[in-house]
A and B are shown apart, each in its own frame.
Chain A
Amino acid sequence: MLAYIVRRFLLAIVTVVAISVLSFIVMHLSPGDYVTSYIAQMSSSGSVVSEADAAALRAQYGLDQPMYIQYLRWVGLILQGNFGMAMEWNSPVMEVIGDRLALTIVISVAAIIFTWAMALPIGIYSAVRQYSIGDYIFTFVGFIGLAVPGFMLALIVMYIGFTYFNANVGGLFSPEYDQAAWSLAKVWNLVQHLPVPAVVLGLAGTAQMIRIMRANLLDELRKPYVVTARAKGLSENRAILKYPVRVALNPFASTIGYLLPFVISGSIIVSMVLSLPTVGPLLLKALIAQDMFLAGTIILLLGILTVVGTFFSDLLLMWIDPRIRLEGK
């Protein structure tokens, strides 16, 4: 068991490093660097930066060093909690990001909870009552989630909300709470607004999960231990819920590792459409404005978030599967 944890932890570390490298690359892909943008900014407000000043700035920020040194310096700064400055906003990156990262986590988790809550019972039902009308209906709904990309679903939902309910279903807060400080009331307001984004975000993953659960359960239902359970005198429902479902749950649980990056990714686009104050719209703005520090940092943070989440899901898997716990044969 310990070996398993250590292995997953090491893998997580390596993944974080890989992500940091990728983020760094993204940050430096466009021509020019921090000083170039600084010069551009200064000149747009009327002042001029001389060549000598520019060179001095570059030396000061270490921008004349080879790439890998810059990378290491950047990592060093990050480990100290300094994420650099956001050009457009002229404030530290973390301030600009602010709540948004936390809110991204909140809706991602909400979406995952929705996905599981829907996919588990539907998957079980579909497997047990294969080819029934219910199975076809659920499969169909599942396919909608699969085939309609997140942003489209968001568009449709907004359209329906607007035309038929005359409501603006976007946003995570009612106007009065938007800029307010955090309080219990604000949290409750958030919860009230969560369902729509959670459903829109979660539906795509739900379809996948249903198919996975259904396929796994169908495999397990054919196995001998189910027959044993029935032969003992268990009712059909108990026999199925207690045994094959429990076993099929394992691969299902391991899918969080895949679901989390998927949901976090999807939240970017959906947030844009629904105007949610998460990291997504900010990233887009940063990219369009060529503010690479902000963009790169967001990418890095999202990546770390995902890795942490995946690591926890691995721990969860270890907890529910005795075969891993005992390093089974």
Chain B
Amino acid sequence: MENGLKALLSVQNLKTYFSSDEGLTKAVDGASFEIFQGKTLGVVGESGCGKSVTARSILRIVERPGRIVDGKILLRRGAGVVAQVAGVEGQGVRATRGAWRERAQRQGPQAARRETVIDLTKLDPDGKEIRSIRGKEIGLVFQEPMTSFSPVHTVGSQIIEAILLHQRVSKREAREKAIDQLRLVGIPKPERRIDEFAFELSGGLRQRAMIAMALSCDPNLLIADEPTTALDVTTQSQILDLLRHLQEQRGMAIMLITHNLGVVAEMSDSVVVMYLGRVVEEGPVDDIFHSPAHPYTQALLRSIPSINSMARTKLPTITGSIPHPYNRPPGCPFHPRCPSYIPGTCNQREPGMVTVNDQQRVSCFLYEGA
């Protein structure tokens, strides 16, 4: 709960496990966080900490042999979402009142519908319900735009398909909308580009096209899985600007998954830090960056090279390496690498989430009982 707002998406104790002959991989092991309309949640962590699996779990597209074994993913649908946000003043809400009104208008007759909350974990992964959510209420942007587009279909046809799937429009109208989308994401000459193939576009344009496709049905939530990792720095900043701009325009929420702390600092309103499938710290971006609580977060921030640091000093790194998935340490997953390790406690029990600040929570024994 934030400022009396109800969350658009609430993930509660999500557990997604992969079982294979060699063992059980707990890719996501009890993650909980909330995403609010119009705000950006940054999800940070090293490779393999379960960020992508979390995103896919939300959309129920986890590949076999992965399964959601526990937890809830609550999505709020209906006009209540918009009305709620529209009633709130300032404070971190990055969208203008006008955008909210526009949004309500866009959602049209559906606005008259009552608000419902559904648990995405309970839906059939191939059923109509989840399919009407995918692409329409939740959009997904991937890391590698080249391989995320089909190599033998034009970019336009793939966007048009997304439109036709969720909106009752004719083919010609869909094509017009697709061209509009391409224009909105800043692709020059969209009428021509729409008929080109993914391999004919440059990296930056491809990612923009990817974003256009994800946004083509005006989703409430955009999940961006490492959207800039495969791009050069200049293109990266352009894409981030684009995302911010679109968010202001449409009032949508963004779940930004990345391992790049700089991107997180630039884009997010709140941050979730993940390690080995669990949320170790969460809070507003300023709190996390200026007063990180969890030793892992502190170590991450320490390891960012800074232009202000002294020359010829060793770059602080986190000792050790991520444990093998079949070999999780008992107790707190970070304890083998933690400088503040408390023997007898950290390797025996798992810490729960403790509130340290107004909205900052951390999962660490250092703060329990404090």
Of the candidates A234, A246, A328, the one whose C-beta lies within 8 Å of that of B165 is A234
B248 close to chain A: CB less than 8 A: no
Among residues 196 to 248 in chain B, which have CB atoms less than 8 Å away from a CB atom of chain A? 197, 199-200, 213
Of the candidates A227, A236, A322, the one whose C-beta lies within 8 Å of that of B197 is A322
B112 close to chain A: CB less than 8 A: no
A52 close to chain B: CB less than 8 A: no
B131 close to chain A: CB less than 8 A: yes
Closest beta carbon of chain A to B19's beta carbon, Å: 15
CB within 8 Å for A250 and B135 given contacts A233-B162, A235-B126, A236-B126:
no
Inter-chain contacts of A232 with B (CB < 8 A): 134-135, 161-162, 165, 213
Inter-chain contacts of B61 with A (CB < 8 A): 227, 230-231
A180 close to chain B: CB less than 8 A: no
CB within 8 Å for A235 and B197 given contacts A246-B150, A247-B152:
no
Closest beta carbon of chain A to B327's beta carbon, Å: 25
- Which of B126, B151, B166 neighbours the largest number of chain A CB atoms within 10 Å of its CB? B151
Q: Is the CB of B197 within 8 A of A228?
A: no
Chain B residue at minimum C-beta to C-beta distance from A222:
B63
Question: A223-265: contact bitstring with B at CB < 8 Å (1 yes, 0 no)?
Answer: 1110111111111100000010011001000000000000000
Inter-chain contacts of A223 with B (CB < 8 A): 147
Q: Is the CB of A224 within 8 A of B144?
A: yes
CB within 8 Å for A231 and B140 given contacts A243-B153, A246-B153:
yes
B44 close to chain A: CB less than 8 A: no
Q: Is the CB of A228 within 8 A of B134?
A: no
> CA separation between A297 and B186, bound complex, in Å?
64
B132 close to chain A: CB less than 8 A: yes
Q: Is the CB of A233 within 8 A of B150?
A: no
> CA separation between A250 and B152, bound complex, in Å?
10
> CA separation between A322 and B152, bound complex, in Å?
6
Inter-chain contacts of A230 with B (CB < 8 A): 59, 61, 134
B39 close to chain A: CB less than 8 A: no
Chain B residue at minimum C-beta to C-beta distance from A225:
B150
> CA separation between A227 and B200, bound complex, in Å?
21
Inter-chain contacts of A328 with B (CB < 8 A): 197, 199-200
> CA separation between A234 and B134, bound complex, in Å?
8
B18 close to chain A: CB less than 8 A: no
Inter-chain contacts of A227 with B (CB < 8 A): 56, 61, 63, 142, 148
- Count, chain A residues at interface, CB 8 A: 24
Among residues 126 to 141 in chain A, which have CB atoms less than 8 Å away from a CB atom of chain B? none
CB within 8 Å for A224 and B135 given contacts A230-B61, A231-B59, A232-B165:
no
B136 close to chain A: CB less than 8 A: yes
Inter-chain contacts of A250 with B (CB < 8 A): 152
Q: Is the CB of A233 within 8 A of B131?
A: yes
> CA separation between A190 and B134, bound complex, in Å?
53
B289 close to chain A: CB less than 8 A: no
Q: Is the CB of A228 within 8 A of B131?
A: no
> CA separation between A224 and B144, bound complex, in Å?
8
Q: Is the CB of B149 within 8 A of A228?
A: yes
A181 close to chain B: CB less than 8 A: no
Q: Is the CB of B150 within 8 A of A247?
A: yes
Of the candidates A228, A323, A326, the one whose C-beta lies within 8 Å of that of B142 is A228
Inter-chain contacts of B147 with A (CB < 8 A): 223-225
Inter-chain contacts of B200 with A (CB < 8 A): 326, 328-329
Chain B residue at minimum C-beta to C-beta distance from A130:
B64
Closest beta carbon of chain A to B220's beta carbon, Å: 14
Q: Is the CB of A326 within 8 A of B197?
A: yes
Inter-chain contacts of A235 with B (CB < 8 A): 126, 131
Chain B residue at minimum C-beta to C-beta distance from A325:
B197
Inter-chain contacts of B140 with A (CB < 8 A): 228, 231
Closest beta carbon of chain B to A173's beta carbon, Å: 43
Q: Is the CB of A228 within 8 A of B148?
A: yes
Closest beta carbon of chain A to B26's beta carbon, Å: 21
Q: Is the CB of A247 within 8 A of B151?
A: yes
Of the candidates B135, B148, B158, the one whose C-beta lies within 8 Å of that of A233 is B135
Closest beta carbon of chain B to A192's beta carbon, Å: 39
A321 close to chain B: CB less than 8 A: yes
Closest beta carbon of chain A to B212's beta carbon, Å: 12
Chain B residue at minimum C-beta to C-beta distance from A230:
B61
> CA separation between A215 and B142, bound complex, in Å?
25
Closest beta carbon of chain A to B150's beta carbon, Å: 5
Q: Is the CB of A321 within 8 A of B152?
A: yes
> CA separation between A234 and B142, bound complex, in Å?
17
Chain B residue at minimum C-beta to C-beta distance from A228:
B148
Closest beta carbon of chain A to B290's beta carbon, Å: 35
> CA separation between A328 and B140, bound complex, in Å?
27
Chain A residue at minimum C-beta to C-beta distance from B197:
A322
Q: Is the CB of B151 within 8 A of A323?
A: yes
Q: Is the CB of A243 within 8 A of B150?
A: yes
Question: A301-329: contact bitstring with B at CB < 8 Å (1 yes, 0 no)?
Answer: 00000000000000000001111001011
Chain A residue at minimum C-beta to C-beta distance from B166:
A233
Of the candidates A224, A246, A247, A321, the one whose C-beta lies within 8 Å of that of B148 is A224
Chain B residue at minimum C-beta to C-beta distance from A321:
B152
Chain A residue at minimum C-beta to C-beta distance from B154:
A322
CB within 8 Å for A233 and B132 given contacts A326-B197, A329-B199:
yes
Closest beta carbon of chain B to A54's beta carbon, Å: 65
Among residues 127 to 179 in chain B, which have CB atoms less than 8 Å away from a CB atom of chain A? 131-136, 139-140, 142, 144, 147-153, 158, 161-162, 165-166
Which of B's residues lie within 8 Å of A, judged by CB? 56, 59, 61, 63, 126, 131-136, 139-140, 142, 144, 147-153, 158, 161-162, 165-166, 197, 199-200, 213
The 15 listed contacts between A and B (C-beta, < 8 Å) are A224-B142, A224-B147, A225-B149, A225-B151, A227-B63, A228-B140, A232-B135, A232-B165, A233-B134, A235-B126, A243-B150, A246-B153, A322-B152, A326-B200, A328-B197
Which of A's residues lie within 8 Å of B, judged by CB? 223-225, 227-236, 243, 246-247, 250, 320-323, 326, 328-329
- 17 more A-B residue pairs beyond the given contacts A225-B149, A235-B126, A320-B152, with a C-beta to C-beta distance below 8 A: A224-B148, A227-B56, A227-B63, A227-B142, A228-B140, A229-B150, A230-B134, A232-B161, A232-B165, A232-B213, A233-B132, A233-B134, A234-B131, A246-B152, A323-B197, A328-B197, A329-B200
